[in-house]
Structures are given as structure tokens and as C-alpha cells.
Amino acid sequence: MTDPLAWRWTAGKALAYALGLVLFLAVAHVDESALVAQSVAMNFVDATDQAGIEFTHVNGASAQKHIAETMGSGALFFDFDNDGWLDLFLVDGGSVTDPAIAKRARHRLYRNRGAGAAGTAASASRRFEDVTAASGIQHREYGMGACAADYDNDDRVDLFVTNLGPDVLYHNDGHGAFTDVTRRAGVGSNLLGASCAFADIDNDGDVDLFVANYVDPDPSKVCGDARARAYCRPDVYAGVPSALYRNNGDGTFTDVTKTSGLDRSDGKALGVVFADYDSDGRVDLFVANDLTRNFLYHNEGNGVFKEVGLPAGVAVASDGRVRAGMGTDVGDYDGDGKLDLVVTNFESEAHSVFRNLGGGLFADGTFESGLGPATLPFLGFGVAFLDYDNDTDLDLVIANGHVLDNTSLFKSTSKYAQRNLLLRNEGHGRFTEVGRQSGPGFALEKVSRTVVTGDIDNDGDLDLLVSNNGQSADLLRNDTEGLGNALRVKLRGRQSNRDGIGALVVATVGSRRLVREVRAGSSYLGQHDVRVHFGLGRASVVDRLDVRWPSGRVDVLKAIASQQDVTVAEGAGIVDSHPLNRR
Amino acid sequence: MRETPGAAPVYVPARYADGFRLVHAGRYDEAAAALQQAIERDPLAATDETLDERVHAAAAMREGSLTGAIARLERAVAQRPDATELRRMLAMAYAGDERYGQSLEQLSAAIQRDGRDERSRLTSVEILIASGQTDAAERLLVETIALLPESGQAYYRLARLYQAQSRIREAIAAFTSSAERPVLVGRDSLYETIAALRVSEGEFGDAIAASRVELEVNPNNAAAHRRLGDLYAQDGRLGESLAEFAAALFIDPRDADTHASRAQTLLRMSRFADAVAAARTAVTLRPSHEAAHYALGTALLRTGKTDEGLATLQKFEQLQAAARARRDAEWQLKLLKEQAVEQVARQDYRAAADLLRRAVAYAPPDGSVHLAAGALLIKAGEYEDAIPLLQEAVAREALEAHRYLAEAYAALHRDDESRAHQAAYDAVKGARLRRGVAIQ
């Protein structure tokens, strides 16, 4: 005879199971609207002082209006001491004309004290400590940009700095010490370097290096008019070739600019991003050029790149005109699984977004996406695709600031200091500008250059670091309450390069596939955290995580709980995990 | 009384504005009375004893006899110091002779005698601007508008001044105010300007509204329909964009720009075959059309016609390179000119002239650079070097060079040649005066 209690238990279990299934389906397998956390009021606060960051960029602005003075400077997030807390590096400029001012310039390396800073009265109080002096990082040339990657796979991320003058590669020796290895490595180009990026172009297990070089900054050029002297447009200067260095795997690099097909002077490169836009397993290269057409270099797989920007539809805007390309980033903003491009441009040009159609073709989606009207009055530099509200789709942040310190003389409505933009993805590849409603951090009006993203307090949302020309840098902490869930993924390459740079990481959540690529270098003169961040909305589980490594290996992981920071090793799955510290 | 569109705006003078408003309202008897009253107070319409002097002076100016006109007007002003129109004419004659100070004195006297003399005020503004006194010109315009709020011309001139100074928002406001005053002709071009300024500010909605008013004034303006189509496209309103292009092509089916714009919109709508057809038409109509080639190449690639698409994009690249070379030359020219201006400010005319000599390589065919270089060499006392440049300027129809050639030859004691060039210059000046073009 059946025990009625047993029946009741079974029925209750079945009911609970059914309810659970319904809930599970509601969370994980129904339409995307169920995933998305309710729209919340964003709150980015200026945490610079509180976090202990004291950095004011020295631009050396002079009456001679040297072009370099208005370009910089860069910044990046990286975890140089492998403690799981994001550190940061700020590039300083200098002076072209005054040695005394040049001496005041000093790059800054800030270590995130992490858990040591947490738990204090103000949990983020003095989170960062200036460890520049002990690091051995020195300021020798007028600095521009930076990127970082573990080029020798020794498990410590190294640092590259571009300059007006020889670029510098710093090897991370561990224990907070860096050594200048430029000469041995052979990467000290003397051209005016701008952005840089690391990626494994030949999938041989180590990262190679691309340096975007801008122009020959001939100081004899004089611009302006009867009203005033002004910084010259790029048309005035001759372009110079950028540089591609292949990693020899022994601490040295070979300059393969010529043999790879990148040796061309008809570009004026400022921004760069590596991305495998056609998913053929080989990382390609996009270069944003200033007032010349952008380059898209398709990786042909034999050490050769083929420039295909024009037929691909990313070289010029839809009207056939070149734009003043500055910064760039890659991300799947329309959720179709293909990597799209964003490029910041000059005031009155609108920043561009190029939608990846597949088959190696892009469509200019600037106006359809809403980016056009929102960005038209701004002169953009740094840019990032990011999911700042953890609602699963990629939003945009853009750092703005004019290049002319006297721009209002030439156009009354033009401003040198400009506000930065935060563009919320409405879910259908349409953006709405919400900066004014996103907290005091977006009320700042400065001469911004780079913006990079990373989670400085490991609370699962993305914070921002903004560099400003001739002004203090800004750390904008995302203090928004009630955001959706998140998952952060750090990769550990074994056959592939150590940080899995270039790996494609796809999170499947319900019916949605969230596509990210691991990158070391993008935006403008900067680099976001290389760890992959997925906003998950209300979903508490990632159903499936696919990692396609640069080696070609594909790892598939299933049912990964949200609110974690996981480390995935090539061929070994999750080897480490930590909870994200939600506020 | 209908507006004639398509021309630069001409405004009803402030004193006639009420009369014109009454005409527009159909109150003809009141309008006639108001206009009659305005005529009676208009110094230009006065039929007193100054009329003869004015007619003769105007005739002298038309014949190119500036000196004669000035002498006659000076006598007349001495006899009738309260005749403001005489003073205004004398001021214009002085300005024609580049005697700006005396010109402004006469205008100031005219305004003192009749503060509501709109013509003297606006002429004064022009002389102030011609003599580089833009701040004073702005002050006078603002004062004129306060005194004569119906002066559409004052608003318009102020708008143009703001526009020249890149004070875009103020320019938009002033243009809009001018459009609200009675305009005899050219209201459409006013709204075209307002729309263009709105676009430069990223205000597509307002630009579209202005462009629509422009088309209400002149619905048969194909270029205006195309511009409105482009605005709709930039605002993401692709269907409305195509409708405007259709209207433009109905009026002017051979406009390559409209076909090219239409091709771009069709591309954005993924109507690739239609885009190919539209772009092909544009390229046929204007084989040098860069944007049409880009649209055609892109559309061909989208339809799988890879070889033809790539060949078209290659052609686009060639056109773009040629255009870039032209722009670079223009830019180099501009730079060298600006550097020359700096040297002039330092009174180093030799250095300035050397810069302009370099600029000759980038110079347009109009001879203006040769003229400027020659003039600077004369200031530097390098008469021999100046002559070939000035002769080249004359050959390129920069006829003001005669004046400097006369000066150079005189300095070299080659008096016959100097006299010949002075005569040539006087002839040019006279011809221009007859056409009403001031020599500056």
C-alpha cells in the first residue's frame, strides 16, 4: 500500500519540480526580455581622489602648438601582480619645447590594494597606491599610449609604452619590478607612436605587437589664422607607416611590417584593434586613421595581411567620405554573433559604427543605430563596447574632448572640454545617450582622451578610467544599485598565449549568445581589462560557455553559476573561481 | 507682391514694413496711405533740390569718375549739410576710393541728423566691416535693430557677421528673425542657410523643419528636395528620404547628386539592385562623382558582382586620391598664406613674399597669389623682383596688379610704363565702379 505521505511528498516534489522548471525556463530559456534586469538609474561616481589616484597629465602645451601636445595620453587596466585585483597605468606626456616642464612628467603605476583596501570605513578608500618609483618604470620620452600583455608567457603581464620618440617595452620581473628590454626586444620605433595592441597573429602561442604610428610631426608647420595660432590638421603632416612586430618566442621581436603588407604611409594611424571579424580563426587588424581612410587588414594566414577596408565597407563613411578616425573597439552590439566595429571621429562628423553583415562585409550603421545624431557635436577619442548595466547587451562609452585648446575662437559653439557619452543599447542595436542621467562621473567636462573599462572592486560591474589632456585623470566607479548578474572569465592559455588573447568566448544564456573576444589594446591609446565580462541580467546560470582558443582548440563548459570570477585553462576547464563581491 | 524665390534675400526697408504688412493683409487703402507716408519721409525718394546733385553724382560714379563724383557730392553736402542721402552717397564714393575714415565721418553725420536712416546705418556697417572694425559693426547693428526692429536687412547682416565669426547659434537666431520680417525676394535661400546651420549643430529635426519651409516657398527647387532627402536619411527616416529624392528627380532627372544620394539610401535599406541602378545613373551623369562610385562599388559587392564591384571601388580610390591631392594643395596654399600674414605682421615683407613665391606652386589660376607676392615685394622695396610676378598676375586677370606695377615702375623711374599701368588701373577701377563693384 502506498504511503499517503509518500504520495504527498512525491506530489509536492513534482509540484516543486514543475515550479522549479517553470522558474528555470523563465530565467534561462524564455525570450530575452525575461533576462534583462529592470532598467536602473546608473550611478558612476568620480572616485579618483578617494581611490588615491593623483595624476595630472603634463601636455607641455606651448605657443608653438606641437601636434603631440594635443594627442595624449593613454591609460590601461591590468593585473600586473596577479592578485586578482585590477591595477592601472597612466601615461604621462612631457614637453617638446621646455626641458623643465618635460622633467615634471612621470608615468604612474598604481597597485590595487584589493582586499587590503576593502573593509575599511570607506571600502574604496585609498584603494590604489602609487608604486611607480619601486617599479623601475621611468619617463624618458613624451609619452602617448600603452598596452600590456605577457609576451614571454612567464605568467606576468608586461608593458609597452608608445612615445614621441623611441617606444619602450618593459618586462615584468615580478614583485612589482619592471625592466626596460626595448633594445633587446627590438621594438623601439622612433616614430610618433599612438595606440598599440598585442595579439597572436600567427597562432604560434605567443603574442605579437602592433604599433599605430601617426604622422611625421614636422614642427615647422604653422596653422591657425589671423585670430590665433592653432594645432594643425593631420592633412598638414606626412603619414608614417605603423609597425608590426612578430614575437620570436625568445624575448625578441622581428619587425615584419614590410613582409606582412603593412608598410604603407598613406594612413595616419591613431586607433587599433585586433579582431577575428570573419571567424576564420586568424586574428585580423583594424586601424582607425585620421582623415585618411581606415584600414582593415585581413590576416591571410601566411604572415601576410591584405588591406580590405574599402570592399569590406569600413574605410569610409556611407557617403564615401573619409572621417577623422581616432579610437576604436569591437563588439557584437546587435547580438547577431558577429563582431561589429565602432570608430570615434571629429566633431560634426558623428562617430561611426560598422555592422558586420558576415561574408567579410560591413554596413555603416551610424545613423540607424542612433549613434549619429547623439555624437555629432562631439570630438571623440576613447571608446569601449561594454555592458555597463549588466543587461546582456553591449553599450558604448565614449571619451570626448577637442584637439584645439582655442576651438571656440573658430567656432563659437565648439568646446575644448566636452562631456563624455554613455550610450545605452536599447536591445535592438539602437543606442540612446544617457550620460546626463548616469551620475556625477558623467557630468564632468574635460579634454578626455582614452577611456578604458575594468572592474576595480570586483563587484561584478564595470568601472571606467578616463585620461584627460593636460588635466587630472578620472576614475569613475560604477556604484549603481540593483544591477543584473555577471560572470567574469579569465583565460589561461597553455598551447595558446598565456592570457588567451584573441580567444573567442561565447556565453549561451537561454536563447541568447553573448560573444566576446579577449583583447589587449583598443579604445584610444589604451587597453581595457583583458578579462571577459558578461552581464547576465536576471540569469543566475550561464548554460554554456564556449572558448575558442587561438590554438584552434574549443573548450565547452556548462552550467556555470553567475556572480563568479572564473579562470578557465585551455583544455582543463575552470581551474579557479571566486565570488564577485556584490555591494 | 509675390516673393521671387531662389535669390539672395532682399528685405522691405523698415519704414515700408507696415505698409507691406497691410498689403499682405488685403487692407489696400490703409496700405496705400502707410506707404505714401513712408515715401514722404524717405530721404531716397525726396524730390528736393538735392535730386539733381544725386543724379549727377550717381552718373559720374557709373562712368567710373570717382574723383568727379566726390567733388560734386562734397559741394552738395556743403550746401545741404542736413541731406542725409547726399552724405550717404559721398560716403560710398569715399569708400570706393578706400578713404574709409572720411566715409565713416559722413555716415556718422547722416545718422546724427536722422537716427532712423536705415540706409546710412547699414552702409556704415558695410564700411566698418570693410575696414576691419567688426566689433563696431556688430554694435551698430544691434543698436539699429533696437531702434528699427522691422529692419530685416539689419538682422540679416548681423546674422552673416555672426556666421563669419562661427557664432552659429547667434547666427541662426538672427537669420530666423530676419525671415520674420517682410522679405521681397529670397526667403527660400534664407531657410536653406538656416537648415545648413542647424545641420552643423546636429539639430536634424530643426534642419528638416527649415528645409520644409524652404520648399514651401519654392516647391520646384530640385536641389532643395535633395537636401531635404539627405537630411531625412541622416535622421534615419529612409522612406521620407526616398520620397524627397523622387520629387527632386521629377523636377531634375539628370541631377547626379540626387541619384547618388538615392543610391546611398537604397543601400542602407538593403535594396542592393535598386542601389546599383541609381548609382550607375549617377556615375553615367557625372563620371567623376566619388560618392556615386563608392555606392556603386559597395552595392555591386553586396549583389555578388565582386569583380565589377572591386573595379568600381578602385576607380573610387583614384578619384579620392585626386581629390585629396587637390585638397592638400589648397591646404598648403592656405598655410603658406597664413605664414605670410604672420611675416607681414612682423613687417618682414621679404620673408612674406618668399612664402608666397612658394605658394605659387599651389596657386589657383586666378593670379591672386602672384598679386599678393608682388605687392609684398614692393612693400619690401624689391621692385625688380615684383614686376614678373605682377605681370603674371595681370596675365591671369588679377587686374589690380596694374596699380602695383605702376608703383614699381615709378620707383624704378620707368615713368612711361608706370603711367601706362596707372591708366590701365584707372580703367579697371572705372569699369568696376560702373558695375557697382568696390575695389578693395
**Closest partner CB to A413 (pick from B201, B234, B264):** B201
Instruction: Report pLDDT digits (tens) over A46-59.
Output: 999 999 999 999 99
Interface residue of B161, B269, B301, B313 to substitute, partner A, most A CBs within 10 Å: B301
Tell me if B302 and A370 make a contact (CB, 8 A cut-off).
no
Residue A497: name the closest of A19, A233, A158, A149 by CA.
Answer: A149
**Closest partner CB to A311 (pick from B162, B233, B310):** B310
- CB of A309 within 8 Å of a chain B CB? The answer is no
Residue B294: list chain A partners with CB under 8 A.
316, 319-320
Instruction: Report pLDDT digits (tens) over B37-51.
Output: 999 888 887 777 777
Q: Is the pLDDT of residue A121 over 60?
A: no
Tell me if A222 and B316 make a contact (CB, 8 A cut-off).
no
Distance from B162 to chain A by nearest Cα, in Å? 9
C-beta of residue A139 within 8 angstroms of C-beta of residue A106: yes
List the beta strands (DSSP E) in A239-367: 243-247, 253-255, 269-275, 284-289, 295-299, 305-307, 328-331, 340-343, 352-358, 361-364
* Mean per-residue pLDDT, B302-328: 93
Calculate helix-pair angle for B349-359, B306-345, nearest 10 degrees. 170
Residue B341: list chain A partners with CB under 8 A.
226
Tell me if B293 and A320 make a contact (CB, 8 A cut-off).
yes
Maximum mean pLDDT: which of A28-37, A331-340, B37-46: A331-340
With a pLDDT cut of 70, the percent of chain B lying above it is: 96
Tell me if A377 and B202 make a contact (CB, 8 A cut-off).
yes
Q: Is the pLDDT of residue A31 over 50?
A: no
* pLDDT in the model for residue A236: 87
Backbone angles phi, psi at A250, to 5 degrees: -125, 25
Residue A343: name the closest of A269, A276, A284, A281 by CA.
Answer: A269
Q: What angle do CA B282, B284, B288 make, to 5 degrees?
A: 75
* Mean per-residue pLDDT, B226-246: 95
Residue A316: list chain B partners with CB under 8 A.
294
Tell me if A225 and B165 make a contact (CB, 8 A cut-off).
no
Grid coordinates given for B145: 535693430
Question: Which secondary-structure segment (H or E) carries A23?
Answer: helix A4-24
Q: What ipTM does the predicted assembly reach?
A: 0.86
- CB of B295 within 8 Å of a chain A CB? The answer is yes
Q: Is the pLDDT of residue A6 over 60?
A: no
In sequence order, the 6+-apart residues with CB closer than 8 A to the CB of B101 are none
Size of interface A-B (CB pairs under 8 A): 86
C-beta of residue A548 within 8 angstroms of C-beta of residue A339: no
Q: Is the pLDDT of residue B359 over 60?
A: yes
Question: Which secondary-structure segment (H or E) carries A386?
Answer: strand A380-386
Distance from B287 to chain A by nearest Cα, in Å? 15
With a pLDDT cut of 70, the percent of chain A lying above it is: 91
The CATH number of B347-425, from 3.30.200.20, 1.10.3720.10, 1.25.40.10, 3.30.1370.60, is 1.25.40.10
Q: Give A24's pLDDT tier (boundaries 50, 70, 90).
A: very low
When comparing pLDDT for B394 and B53, which is higher?
B394
List the beta strands (DSSP E) in A119-276: 128-130, 142-149, 158-164, 168-174, 177-180, 193-199, 208-213, 223-224, 229-230, 243-247, 253-255, 269-275
Tell me if B342 and A222 make a contact (CB, 8 A cut-off).
yes
Spatial strand order of the sheet with A485-492 comes to A532-537, A485-492, A564-569, A573-579
* pLDDT in the model for residue A123: 52
Instruction: Report pLDDT digits (tens) over A375-427.
Output: 998 999 999 999 999 999 999 999 999 999 988 888 777 889 999 999 999 98
Nearest CA in chain A to B303: A361
Grid coordinates given for B436: 557697382
Tell me if A373 and B235 make a contact (CB, 8 A cut-off).
yes
When comparing pLDDT for B440 and A222, which is higher?
A222
In sequence order, the 6+-apart residues with CB closer than 8 A to the CB of A3 are none
A526-527 and A75-78 strand pairing: parallel
Residue A318: list chain B partners with CB under 8 A.
264, 267-268
* pLDDT in the model for residue A461: 97
Grid coordinates given for B163: 556666421
- CB of B115 within 8 Å of a chain A CB? The answer is no
Map A513-552 to HEC letters: EEEEECCECEECCEECCCCEEEEEECCCEEEEEEEECCCC
* pLDDT in the model for residue A40: 78
Query: How far apart are alpha carbons B361 and B369 in whole angstroms?
Result: 10
Instruction: Report pLDDT digits (tens) over B147-169.
Output: 999 999 999 999 999 988 888 89
- CB of A364 within 8 Å of a chain B CB? The answer is yes
Instruction: Report pLDDT digits (tens) over B89-138.
Output: 999 999 988 899 999 999 999 999 999 999 999 999 999 998 889 999 99
Q: What is the mean pLDDT of chain A?
A: 91
* pLDDT in the model for residue A499: 97
pTM here? 0.84
Q: Which one-letter DSSP state was computed for residue A373?
A: H
**Closest partner CB to A373 (pick from B202, B290, B317):** B202
* Mean per-residue pLDDT, A8-19: 42
Query: How far apart are alpha carbons B397 and B306 in whole angstroms?
Result: 49
* pLDDT in the model for residue A239: 95
* pLDDT in the model for residue A117: 59
Q: Give B35's pLDDT tier (boundaries 50, 70, 90).
A: very high
Distance from B258 to chain A by nearest Cα, in Å? 12
- CB of B240 within 8 Å of a chain A CB? The answer is no
Residue A372: list chain B partners with CB under 8 A.
234, 236
Q: Is the pLDDT of residue B294 over 80?
A: yes
Distance from A433 to chain B by nearest Cα, in Å? 14
Q: How far is CA A388 from the centre of its chain?
A: 13
Q: Is the pLDDT of residue A494 over 60?
A: yes
Nearest CA in chain A to B200: A348
Residue A293: list chain B partners with CB under 8 A.
320
Residue spans of the domains in chain B: they are 347-425
Grid coordinates given for B154: 539689419
When comparing pLDDT for B67 and B192, which is higher?
B192
Give the position of cell 547626379: B256
Q: Which one-letter DSSP state was computed for residue B361?
A: G
Question: Which secondary-structure segment (H or E) carries A418?
Answer: strand A418-419
Q: What is the mean pLDDT of chain B?
A: 90
Instruction: Report pLDDT digits (tens) over A62-111.
Output: 999 999 999 999 999 999 999 999 999 999 999 999 999 999 999 999 99
Instruction: Report pLDDT digits (tens) over A202-222.
Output: 999 999 999 999 999 998 888
When comparing pLDDT for A455 and B58, which is higher?
A455
Q: Is the pLDDT of residue A118 over 80?
A: no
Nearest CA in chain A to B328: A235
* Mean per-residue pLDDT, A230-240: 91
* pLDDT in the model for residue A582: 63
B 29-58: CB under 8 A from A: none
When comparing pLDDT for A34 and A429, which is higher?
A429
* pLDDT in the model for residue A225: 73
A 227-286: CB under 8 A from B: 233, 235-236
- CB of A318 within 8 Å of a chain B CB? The answer is yes
Interface residue of A265, A316, A409 to substitute, partner B, most B CBs within 10 Å: A316
What is the SS3 assignment for B170? helix
Tell me if A377 and B201 make a contact (CB, 8 A cut-off).
yes
* pLDDT in the model for residue A47: 96
* Mean per-residue pLDDT, A295-301: 97
- CB of B165 within 8 Å of a chain A CB? The answer is yes
Query: How far apart are alpha carbons A171 and A158 in whole angstroms?
Result: 5
Q: Is the pLDDT of residue A15 over 50?
A: no
Interface residue of B172, B230, B234 to substitute, partner A, most A CBs within 10 Å: B234
Residue A355: list chain B partners with CB under 8 A.
none
Tell me if A222 and B341 make a contact (CB, 8 A cut-off).
no
**Closest partner CB to A319 (pick from B200, B291, B302):** B291
Tell me if A412 and B166 make a contact (CB, 8 A cut-off).
yes
Q: Is the pLDDT of residue A325 over 80?
A: yes
- CB of B288 within 8 Å of a chain A CB? The answer is no
Grid coordinates given for B24: 499682405
Residue B335: list chain A partners with CB under 8 A.
221-223, 236
Spatial strand order of the sheet with A361-364 comes to A328-331, A340-343, A352-358, A361-364
Nearest CA in chain B to A291: B324
Tell me if A320 and B291 make a contact (CB, 8 A cut-off).
yes
Question: Which secondary-structure segment (H or E) carries A18?
Answer: helix A4-24
| Burial of residue A477, with CB atoms counted within 10 A of its CB: 0-12 exposed, 13-18 middle, 19 or more buried | buried
C-beta of residue A320 within 8 angstroms of C-beta of residue B316: yes
* pLDDT in the model for residue B328: 81
Q: Is the pLDDT of residue A501 over 70?
A: yes
Query: How far apart are alpha carbons B280 and B283 in whole angstroms?
Result: 5
What is the SS3 assignment for A353? strand
Q: Give A34's pLDDT tier (boundaries 50, 70, 90).
A: low
Q: Give A19's pLDDT tier (boundaries 50, 70, 90).
A: very low
Query: How far apart are alpha carbons B290 and A330 in whole angstroms?
Result: 28
Tell me if B294 and A320 make a contact (CB, 8 A cut-off).
yes
